[in-house]
Chain A
Amino acid sequence: TLGKCAHCPSVCVCVFTSVYVVFHFMDGLNAEVEFPRLWDYKSITYILGYLHMTHKNAKRIEGLDKNVWITFTSVAADPTIVNLGQGYPDIPPPSYVKEGLVQAVMVDRLNQYTRGFGHPTLVKALSQVYGKVCGRQIDPFKEILVTVGGYGSLFCSIQGLIEEGDEVIIIEPFFDCYVPMVKMAGAKPVFIPLRLSDRKTDISSADWFLDQDELASKFNSKTKAIIINTPNNPIGKVFTRNELQAIADLCIKHDTLCLSDEVYEWLTYKGHDHVKIATLPGMWDRTITVGSAGKTFSVTGWKLGWSIGPEHLVKHLQTVMQNSLYACPTPLQEAVAQGLLRDYELMGQPDCYFSSLAEELQGKRDRIATILKQAGMNPVIPEGGYFMIADVTALNQHLSHVEDDEPYDYKFIKWMTKEKKLAAIPVTAFCGEESIKHFEKYIRFCFIKQDSTLDAAEAILKNWNKA
C-alpha cells in the first residue's frame, strides 16, 4: 500500500512485507523516479534524512542546542525551592534607574530607533565613565558599541574577530557561553584551568591561580584570542596586576587579542581592586573590554551591555551589529545613560551605586560563607562578583544511587534541590571535559539575594545534618 510521508507530501514511502520497499519521489528537476529495491533500515533512515534536508539546521549550531540554564531553570522553577542558582538579583534595582526608564518612555522620540551602534547620550556617558576609569580619552562613536547585554558584546566580538582555523584560549572555570560562541564561529576552544594552591583552610579565590608555564604552552601561531573574566564567574577571582601582566606579555609576544569580560567590575570586596587589562602597556590596541548595565545597576532584565576598545577592532563588532540586530532599545539606553551620569558625579563617594552595591554584597558574602561552613561545606571566599563556590566533599553525600552518568556536582545539585529544597549550579557546567575531575565537588551559590532569601537558605543549611 502506498502511504504518504506525514511531513513531506512530495515523498511517498511504500512498505509492504518486510522485504521490499518502494520509493517514489520527485526530485527538484521535476523527474519522477520510481524503483523497487531491497533496502535495510539504515538506508531508509539515510534517504529520509536526505529528503528532509530542507528543514535541517545549519552546521554552525551542531551540538550547541543544550544549555545549562535551560536545564536548571526548570529544576528550580518551583516556588518552594530557595533559589541560589541562577545569577540574578532578587533585590530591587535603585529607584532612580527605574524612574529614569519611566521618564524616557514618556518622551515620544525615545520610543523610536536610535543610532545603531549606541544611543548618543549613552555612548557619551560611557566615554566619560570609562575615560575616567582608564585614564584615557575614549571616542564615544568609534571606540564603543552598545549591545544586548554583556552576552551580546561577547557575541559581536567573537563573530567579528574569530573564525574557522582560529584557537581561543579559555580559562576554566568559565562563564558557559564562551565555548558555544567560539564553536559557532568555527574556532577551537583551548582550555587552561585555574588551579588551587596547597592551602587547606580559609580558601579564597586568590588561592586559585594560573600556572605560568602551562599558560605559555597554550599559545601558538593559531591563537587568535584569549578570553579572561575578572572578577571571575563562578570562582570570584579578581586577577591581580601581576597576573594580568603575565597574560598581557603573552598576548603581545604572540600577537594575540584579548577579550576581557568585566561585567562584575564594580563588585570587588575590601582589599581587592579591579584592574583593567586594557590599561596595561601595549594592551589597549589588542583588547575588547565587555561591560554590563544589567550587572552594574542590578537590572539583568534590561539586557544592555557594551564593548569598548580601539577603533580598528570595534569597527568589526559594529559590522556584526549592523547585520544582526541593527540597534538596541532606545528608552532603556537613555535610562542607563542617566544612571551612569548620576553615578559618575558620585564616583569615589559612599553613595555612588558602583561602590555602595559592593558594600552591601560584602555583608551577604560573609554571611553565606559562614552558613555554608556550618553545614560542613568548604566555601571559596570570592574577592569579587556575586557568586561563591563551595566544596561539598566533606559532606560525604553518597549519590551512586542516582542513575545518570553525570558528574558528581550535577547529581548533587539534583539531589539537593529535591531533598533540601535549595538550588545551586554545578561548577562543571563551567569547565571542559578534561577538567571535570578537578571541579565536580564544587557547587555555585549566588548571594545577590534579599535577606529573606538568605534567611531561608540559612534555615536549610543549619538543619542540614539533622534530617
Chain B
Amino acid sequence: MARQLHARRLEGVDKNIWVEFTQLTADYKAVNVGQGFPDFSPPSFIQEAFCSAITGGASMHQYTRGFGHPALVKILAKFFGRIVGRDIDPMEDFQITVGAYQALFCTFQALIDEGDEVIIVEPFFDCYQPMVKMAGGTPSSNLYTLSSADWVLSPEELASNLNPRTKAIVINTPNNPLGKVYQRDELQMIADFCIKHDIICISDEVYEWLTYDGAQHIKIASLPGMWERTVTIGSAGKSFSATGWKVGWAMGPGNIIKHLKTIHQNSVYHCATAAQEAVAMGFQREYDTFGTEDSYFKQLPAQLHKKRLRLAECLRSVGLEPVMPQGGYFMITDISSLQVDLNDPSTKDEPYDFRIVKWLIKEKGLATIPVSGFYSPEHRGNVQNYIRFCFVKVIWFVCI
C-alpha cells in the first residue's frame, strides 16, 4: 500500500519493555525473576471458585453486564465501602476491566484530550506514559523524580510543574518498581494539591494488600475531598496471585466512571463472565475473613515478607545493594559494583542497565528488568545503575 497505514496515535508508543524482555527471556530460556507474576499457584479457594463458576450453568459462559458482572460489582462495593467508609454504588461507581491495565487505559482515554497534561511521578509503571500519549496528552515534561536520597516526593517540585492544562496526576502506591508505600502526610500533600488546582487523581493501587514492616496502605480516595476526584484502580490478578485472569476495576464517583463506561462499551464492552464470578466469590470470602488469620490478603504479605528478606540477603551476599521495599512485588538493586565485561555489540547504544540485564539473560540465564525503563526518556540517562527483581517467586537463586 502506498499510503501511511498506521494511525498517528501510535507514534512513539510502539516500543514496549515487556514485549522486548519476555521475548528475550523466552529465547534464552532464562529464569524469569523480572516480570511481575508469581511462580507459585493461586490459593486453592480461588482456583476452585473458577472451576465452580465454569460448571455452574449456561449463563456463566455467555455475556454478562458490560460494566461489570453484578455479583462482582456488588461485593466490591461492599468490600471497599467498608474500607473507605462510604456507601459505594455497585452499578454507578465501578467499571470492571480486563486487568488493571485496561482500567488505566479507559481512564486515560475517557478523561485526557489532546494537549492535556498529566503529572506522572517517576519511577512509574511504564504503561502510564504511552497511554497518556496515545490519548493525545502530554506526560508532564518536568516529571517528578523521587529523589534517590530518600525516595520522597517534594511539594515544591510538584507545585512547580503545574500549568493551566494539567488535568490529572497518576500515583502508584505501593509503587512499582521502588516498593514505596506513600504515607498519610504525603498523600495529604498530593490531595491538597489536587483539591486546590481541581485536578483528577488516578491512583493505581494494584499492590494494596502487599505492605511489609508495618507499613500501612492508605487509599487517597478516603481523604476528605478526594472521593469526588479520584479514580482508584485495583487488580484481582495481584490480589489473588492469578495475574493471568486479567480482571481489574476502576472505582470512583459515578460522574467520572460514566465516561470510563463509554470507552469500555466502545472498545471491549464485556469482560469474561466466569472469571468475574470467581473473583466475586474470592472477595466474598475475603470480606468474611478480613483481618483474621484466614484472610488471603493477610497471608500473602506474610509469605512475601520472608521472600523479600531472603532476596535482599542473597543480593548483599554478592556485593549488591538492594533498596528495601515497603510494599509490592519488587526490589530494585544498585548494580554499580558489578564488574562485568560487556562485549555485546548488539546492545552498545543502550543504557547501562539495559545492557546488564541483557547480559544476565544471555550469559547467566537470569531475567530481570532495567529500572531506567520506568523513567521518562528525558531522565533515563540519570538512572542507569538499577535493575529490578521480582521476589514473588518460589525458586530463588542468584548466580553472578
Interface residues of A (CB under 8 A from B): 7-10, 26, 28, 51, 54-55, 57-61, 64-65, 67, 69-70, 73, 86, 88-93, 98, 101-102, 105-106, 108-117, 148-149, 151-152, 155, 159-163, 177, 180-181, 184-185, 224, 255, 257, 285-286, 298-303, 312-313, 316, 319-320, 322-332
Contacts and interface: CB of A to CB of B under 8 A. Distances in A.
Contacts of B200: 54-55
Given A301-B64, A326-B127, A112 B244 contact: yes
B135 interface: yes
Interface of B: 1-3, 5-10, 13-14, 16, 18-19, 22, 35, 37-42, 47, 50-51, 54-55, 58-66, 98-99, 101-102, 105, 109-114, 116, 127, 130-131, 134-135, 162-164, 166-167, 195-200, 225, 228-229, 241-247, 255-256, 258-259, 261-263, 265-275
Given A67-B265, A300-B62, A323 B105 contact: yes
Q: 8 shortest A-B CB distances, which residue pairs? A: A330-B244, A301-B273, A163-B7, A108-B41, A57-B259, A148-B268, A112-B37, A316-B6
Given A113-B35, A302-B61, A58 B7 contact: no
Given A58-B112, A155-B268, A319-B13, A88 B244 contact: no
Given A93-B58, A316-B6, 9 more contacts: A10-B198, A28-B163, A54-B198, A92-B58, A102-B54, A159-B7, A301-B64, A322-B18, A325-B101
Contact of A98 (B54, B101, B102, B114): B54
Contact of A298 (B61, B245, B269): B61
Contact of B9 (A67, A108, A163): A163
Contacts of A57: 110-111, 259, 262
Contact of B51 (A102, A149, A177, A323): A102
Contacts of B39: 109, 112
A161 B6 contact: yes
10 contacts: A54-B167, A92-B58, A110-B244, A111-B241, A111-B242, A151-B270, A303-B271, A316-B6, A323-B134, A325-B98
Contacts of B54: 98, 101-102, 105
B381 to A, nearest CB: 24
A383 B6 CA distance: 35
Given A54-B198, A55-B200, A58-B112, A148 B98 contact: yes
B196 A64 contact: no
A55 B10 CA distance: 26
A106 B47 contact: yes
Contact of B244 (A65, A67, A113, A161): A113
B269 A65 contact: no
A282 B394 CA distance: 52
A151 B131 CA distance: 20
Given A70-B265, A88-B62, A151-B269, A111 B245 contact: yes
Contacts of A301: 59-64, 270, 272-274
Given A89-B62, A159-B9, A331-B245, A105 B51 contact: yes
Contacts of B66: 69-70
B228 to A, nearest CB: 7
B1 A286 contact: yes
Contacts, number: 235
B265 A116 contact: no
Contacts of A10: 195-196, 198
Contacts of A101: 54, 274
Most buried by A among B3, B66, B266: B266
B24 to A, nearest CB: 13
Contact of B10 (A180, A316, A328): A316
Nearest to B97: A325
Nearest to B113: A58
Nearest to A312: B5
Given A102-B54, A301-B64, A329-B246, A320 B197 contact: no
Contacts of B10: 160, 316, 319-320
Given A69-B66, A112-B37, A324-B102, A105 B50 contact: yes
B55 to A, nearest CB: 7
Contacts of B255: 55
A65 B164 contact: no
A111 B134 contact: no
B51 A326 contact: no
A59 to B, nearest CB: 5
B5 A55 contact: no
B156 to A, nearest CB: 14
Contacts of A61: 109-110, 259, 262-263, 266
A139 B262 CA distance: 35
A59 B263 CA distance: 11
B271 A148 contact: yes
A115 B32 CA distance: 13
Residue from the set B6, B37, B162, B263 with the largest chain A CB neighbour count within 10 Å: B6
Nearest to B8: A163
Contacts of B228: 7
Contacts of A70: 66, 265
Given A10-B195, A113-B243, A303 B272 contact: yes
Given A8-B198, A111-B245, A255-B2, A155 B267 contact: yes
A224 B2 CA distance: 12
Contact of B42 (A111, A155, A323, A326): A111
A107 B54 CA distance: 15
Nearest to B247: A329
A322 B19 contact: yes
A93 B40 contact: no
Contact of A329 (B6, B65, B245, B256): B245
B268 A184 contact: no
A249 to B, nearest CB: 16
A255 B272 contact: no
Contacts of B247: 329
Contacts of B195: 9-10
A126 B256 CA distance: 39
Contacts of B99: 325-327
A316 B5 contact: yes
A324 B267 contact: yes
Contacts of B62: 88-90, 299-301
A57 B111 CA distance: 5
B256 A55 contact: yes
A152 B99 CA distance: 14
Contacts of A64: 262, 266
Nearest to A8: B198
Given A300-B63, A329-B246, A177 B105 contact: no
Given A28-B197, A108-B40, A113-B37, A332 B7 contact: no
Contacts of A322: 16, 18-19
A269 to B, nearest CB: 23
